[in-house]
Amino acid sequence: MDEKEYMEMLDAAIEKLPEDVMNRERFKLPKAEIRTEGKKTIVVNFKSISEALKRETKHFLKYLLNEVGTAGSYDDQSGRVTLQGMFTKRTILNTIEEYVKEFVICDTCNKPDTNIERQGRQQILICLACGARRSVRKL
Ligand SMILES: [Zn+2]
């Protein structure tokens, strides 16, 4: 079995799991469309996901690249991100979920209606629903 077959098998097994990882959040994200092309991994609807999260594609991409540990680029025309290397859907979905937890969801009320504002050298996540604030790390 080569690497691609193995990853397809893994993804097929994951798709049979009853609970989609994103359903645990209180809001619905567009389902990430992820596929591999050659030795690259494409997140087809990266732009729609960023928009649903109300986060800048630049910020989200930086996080994704750091966490996955690869290089990649965003194309605004197609809204896609191309990552160097082959990654499973699970890896990408987990990374998106971690991003949502750290940079989108309010810790206090668990709602996703938040903004990130810069205050001096700090980045503050402000919840529009309950007014809670917490600092988030700079990427
Ligand atoms: Zn809140």
Summarize pLDDT for 45-96 with one digit per residue, the tens: 999 999 999 999 999 999 999 999 999 999 999 999 999 999 999 999 999 9
Q: How far is the CA of 112 from the centre of ligand 1 (A)?
A: 8
At 20 the three-state DSSP class reads coil
* pTM confidence score: 0.80
Q: How far is the CA of 19 from the centre of ligand 1 (A)?
A: 25
The CATH number for 44's domain is 3.30.30.170
Whether residues 100 and 52 share a domain: the answer is yes
Distance from residue 124's CA to the centre of ligand 1 (Å): 13
Question: Tokens 């960023």 belong to which residue?
Answer: 50
Same domain, 90 and 135: no
Report how far ligand 1's centroid is from the alpha carbon of 129 (Å): 5
Q: What is the reported pLDDT for 17?
A: 56
Query: Which spans in 21-106 are helix H?
Result: 46-53, 57-68, 89-103
**Mean of the pLDDT values across residues 92-103?**
95
Range name among 5-9, 16-20, 71-75, 120-124 with the lowest pLDDT average: 16-20
> What is the CA(126)–ligand 1 centre distance, in A?
8
Domain identity same for 40 and 66: yes
Together in a domain, 11 and 63: yes
Domain hosting residue 126, numbered range: 109-139
Average pLDDT, the chain: 89
Same domain, 88 and 55: yes
Instruction: Give the separation between CA 66 and CA 75, rounded to whole angstroms.
Output: 18
The pLDDT of residue 16: 59
pLDDT at 7 over 50: yes
